[in-house]
Amino acid sequence: MDLFQKKLGAVIDVELLGDKWHTGILVDAGQDILVIYNGERYIYIPSFHILNVSLNTKKSSTDFSALTEKPINSDKISYRKILMNAKGIFSEIYVSGFQPIHGYITHIMTNYFEFYSPVYKTMFIPLIHLKWLIPYNDYHTPYLLDKKFFPVNPSDLPLSRTFEEQMKKLEGKIVVFDLGRSPSKIGLLKEIDTNIVHMITAEGMTFYTNIQHIKSVHSPSM
């Protein structure tokens, strides 16, 4: 997205799919990611979900607090490089629903990453479904816990190269898709066949879901 290199320092509005918005100073732009500063934090936005970008004519850079040091520094940014550099940094991510998720990126695979959350524990998230990433500064820990009381313990389930292969390892287990936003997203993962996920809910209802529309998965067994 070289076009945005010419707009560095401008205040922009970024409209994302799903009626989500961010406003801030454009501080960096890569081929597949934008970085803005909203006066408090740096927001890394992959291009997949960007619907529109427009110049904000009501605000100027002086309306925002002074730029702080970026938690992630990279000479030439890209989505994958940002994820790699964010490993081990306490971060906020947004995937779906009404609330972001807080925790740590622990591994990045071909088309998904493993995320450890104090609330949901180990999660698997397809790269294409991450809408934004907000890394915190090094001194920030979840819920202000002392670091010695917050061990990051990802699942010992071996990681496969792709999200589809990793999902196959969860066959026969209770899983939660998309943070369990609806009853059809919590149940027994019966099997996966040609990217169609066969799920059985607690009530015994059967659902068949296209794996490409699953935004996150976690399991109490992990």
Query: CA 41, CA 33: separation in Å to the nearest integer?
Result: 16
Domain ranges, ordered by start, for the chain: 1-86, 163-218
pLDDT value of position 1: 67
Same fold yes or no, 1-86 and 163-218:
yes
CA 73 to chain centre: 18
SS3 63: helix
Average pLDDT of span 106-127: 96
pLDDT value of position 139: 67
Residue 174 clears pLDDT 80, i.e. is over it = yes
What is the chain's mean pLDDT, rounded?
Answer: 91
pLDDT tens per residue across span 15-43: 999 899 999 999 999 999 999 999 999 99
Average pLDDT of span 51-66: 89
Residue 74's pLDDT band (boundaries 50, 70, 90)?
low
Extended strands (E) in the chain: 11-16, 20-29, 33-37, 42-46, 50-55, 91-94, 101-108, 112-117, 121-126, 132-135, 174-177, 186-193, 196-200, 206-210, 217-218
Residue 53's pLDDT band (boundaries 50, 70, 90)?
very high
Residue 61's pLDDT band (boundaries 50, 70, 90)?
confident
pLDDT value of position 150: 64
Whole-number Cα distances in Å, 7 to 3, 60, 168, 172: 8, 13, 44, 50
Cβ–Cβ under 8 Å, residues 209 and 197: yes
CATH architecture, domain 1-86: Roll (2.30)
Q: What is the model's pTM?
A: 0.92
pLDDT tens per residue across span 153-172: 778 889 999 999 999 999 99
Would you identify the CATH topology of the domain 163-218?
Answer: SH3 type barrels. (2.30.30)
